[in-house]
Amino acid sequence: MHQLKTFYVILLFCITFIAAQTMLQSQTSLPTRDKIADKYKWNLQDIFKSNADWAKEFESLEKDIKKFNDFRGKISKSSKELLNYLEYSNLIGQRFSRAYLYTALGKDTDLNNSEFQVMFEKMQKLAAEYSALTSFATPEILTISEGDFEKFLKSEPKLKDFEHDLRGTFKMKKHTLSAEEESLLAKLSPISQIPNTTYSILNDAELPFPTIKLADGSEVKLSHGRYRAALYSLDREYRKAVYKGTYEPYEKLKGTYATLYNGRLKTRIINSEIRKYSSPIEASLYGNDIPVSVYDNLVNVVNENLKTLHRWANIKKRALKLDELHPYDTYVTLFPATQKEYTYDEAIEISLKALAPLGKDYIDALKFSFENRWIDVYETKGKRSGAYSNSSGAGPHPFILLNWNNTLDDVFTLVHEIGHNMHSYFSEKNQPYQYTGYSIFVAEVASITNEALLLDYLVENASSKEEKMALIEKFLIGAQATFFRQTRFAEFEKITHDRGKSGEVFTAESLTKLFAEGYQKYWGSEMVTDYEEGLSWARVHHLVNYNFYVYQYATGFAAAQALASQIKSEGKPAIDRYLKFLSSGSSDYPINVLKKAGVDMSTKLPIEQTIARINKYLDELEKLMRE
């Protein structure tokens, strides 16, 4: 139901908060916020003029959420009572979201600011109370019979504004148990989360990473961050040492990791059976009305075209002059001498030119965001690291957080977050509050479409052959990681769940063997799949903590490539469809929203077009390398 929308937003904020605590680095040499010009900082007065104004709203919300008790036992009685509840829920949801956004953004600008920390914690506490006070609503709505619901729609025209959301709720009715059974499952929920919780503690906090000795005699204490950074290092022996060392604790604890994986597997299988789904994957996709065939189609078409990734492996092996290509060689650049620096102001100009194919309405909105402090640009003391786009769904506008370091990656990050921002902006501008959000299935499409347009622009305007080759390589590494790799994960996830449903219990050895076989199949004969790569099933947290999630990275990548191509080749008709996509929010199921934009993910075509785009860039790269 739409009243839960706020809490999905809250969950994202909570994840951001946790990440901020773990990623905050030593920032003693960084400038404080007062040293940064205002034009490069958020203007939080767009939300509340002062903390005192926020405090007044918080006090009012504390009182007003208690009024939800007045609706208990009434909302299924008549169309008028149902409408009253939905409208009140919308009103409170909008106010609550804005108040939450204010504290979350304020906190992230300075994690040492105790005032915003206290305000944020107050909002978290109020969120829990809000959730409890509205928990009666969905079960009560589901007591309305199908016939009475149709009568409600006819007798109260304003309910049409909520029809899609309500039908989505009723769609879940056949997979919803009795109130007593749902209560029992809710009580068991903390137990079913034990594999996830234990995995997170083990993998993110307690994993005993070793200290390794390098060829020069120096020592390095390994970590997740150092592992990722090492894969891009030009020093092959260093890459290999960090890669091998990182997997030492996974090898020692592989039995524990296998137990956690089996626990999560069994939980998903049992829950899907209890709720009368044909499989865990159907249970995961059903709420968004995505056919299982979409998932299968992605895996099957990618498998039919693995020669494209094999080709990329061959190019890398030859260019790096290696006798053997190993997994730790797949991310290192072939063109290290082409690094350029970009100021933020230069990146603004590049963004406006690269995204010009999206049309005047998009560019006008983008210019307005640049000119009105929607973006917090520079790294400052105490600021949350990384980048994101956040919005309340209820205005005043979306916000982008950056930590600018003058790199090409920063330029791509900017246009990526602009994609999210404009998606939220146009949805909020054109949809009522209950439909301003959008699902993960389409969330990355707008951001990756922007990246595709930026890449095309930069390649077309490259100042040298070397720069053009480096840009093409950036796309190919992105395709390797986001398209092929995530599809490989999705295939592994499907195989293990299918076998688990048939009664198989996996050992650490069988999981490692299965994962290594998938890696070898995807990369082909040029690759030497190290034993450590087989252990990656234990390192990839998405495979334990998320439920059939990773395929959406690959489908989003494919949809974005198709949309970018249509926009450039068709012009206005494609632009109009795309802006409608950005403006649709959750007013329809995500696969339908994409179809209206011109991409049907239930067919092979977008996947095949993505493969063709990758091959086109491989052709161009090989041609340039021969010259």
Q: Please check whether residues 167 and 265 belong to one and the same domain.
A: no
| End position of a domain, from candidates 190, 224, 243 | 190
> Are the CB atoms for 118 and 53 separated by under 8 Å?
no
Last residue of a domain, one of 135, 164, 190: 190
- Residue 617 falls within a domain, yes or no? yes
Domain encompassing residue 560: 191-207+253-334+438-627
CATH of residue 583's domain is 1.10.1370.20
Rounded CA gap, 469 and 627, in Å?
A: 12
312 shares its domain with 459: yes
Whether residue 80 sits in one domain with residue 201 = no
Asked if residue 280 lies in contact with residue 587, where contact means CB atoms within 8 angstroms, the answer is: no
Whether residues 492 and 560 fall in one domain: yes
- 310 part of a folded domain: yes
**Active site residue ranges:** 417
pLDDT value of residue 266: 95
Smallest Cα–Cα separation from 444: which of 295, 554, 347? 554
The CATH number covering residue 182 comes to 1.20.140.70
* 213: enclosing H helix or E strand: strand 211-213
pTM higher than the cut 0.85:
yes
The amino acid present at 574, given as its one-letter code, is A
144 lies in the same domain as 282: no
- Torsion over CA: 351, 353, 358, 360 (sign): positive
CA distances from residue 491 to 286, 296, 313, 515 in whole angstroms, order as listed: 19, 9, 20, 10
Is 548 found in the same domain as 464? yes
**Has residue 345 been placed in a domain?**
no
N-term to C-term CA, the chain:
59
Residues with Cβ within 8 Å of residue 474, at least 6 apart in sequence = 408, 412, 455
Q: Do 594 and 466 reside in the same domain of the chain?
A: yes
Q: Are residues 8 and 150 in the same domain?
A: yes
Please tell me whether residues 151 and 100 are part of one structural domain.
yes
Q: Per the domain annotation, does 614 fall within a domain?
A: yes
Other Cβ atoms closer than 10 A to 321: 6
The answer as to whether 353 is a domain residue is: no
Same domain? For 549 and 597 the reply is yes
The total number of structural domains in the chain stands at 2
**254 is written with which tokens?**
């592989």
Average pLDDT of adjacent 10-residue blocks, the chain of 627 residues: 40 36 50 95 98 98 97 96 98 98 96 94 94 90 94 96 96 86 82 90 92 92 92 96 97 97 95 95 95 96 98 97 98 89 97 98 98 97 93 96 95 97 98 96 96 96 95 96 97 97 95 98 98 96 90 96 96 98 97 97 96 97 95
Q: How far apart are CA 594 and CA 582, in angstroms?
A: 10
Q: Are strands 375-378 and 399-404 parallel, antiparallel or unpaired?
A: parallel
Q: Where do we find the tokens 């009243």?
A: 3
Dihedral angle over CA of 302, 303, 308, 313, nearest 10:
120
**Cα–Cα distance for residue pair 41/382, rounded to 1 Å:** 14
Please indicate, yes or no, if residue 373 is contained in any of the structural domains.
no
Asked whether residue 448 is domain-assigned, the answer is yes
Q: For residues 446 and 556, state if they share a domain.
A: yes
Residue 275 shares a structural domain with residue 171: no
* pLDDT at residue 184 in the model: 84
Among 145, 160, 190, give the residue marking a domain's end.
190
- Cα–Cα distance measured from residue 300 to residue 215, given in angstroms and rounded to the nearest whole number: 44
**Distance between CA atoms of residues 324 and 301, nearest Å:** 28
Sign of the torsion angle spanned by Cα atoms 112, 201, 232, 376 = negative
- Name 220's Cβ contacts closer than 8 Å, sequence gap at least 6: 211, 212, 214, 226, 242
Long-range CB pairs of 491-494 (<8 Å, 24+ gap) are: 491/299, 491/303, 491/518, 492/518, 492/537, 492/543, 493/543, 493/548, 493/550, 494/281, 494/295, 494/296, 494/299, 494/548
Question: Could you tell me if residue 418 is inside a domain?
Answer: no
Closest CA to 419 of 452, 386, 392, 393: 452
* C-alpha neighbours within 13 Å on the C-beta side of residue 501: 16
Angle at 88 between CA 87 and CA 90, to 5 degrees: 65
Encoding tokens for residue 44?
């939080």
- Whether the CB-CB separation of 90 and 134 falls below 8 Å is answered with no
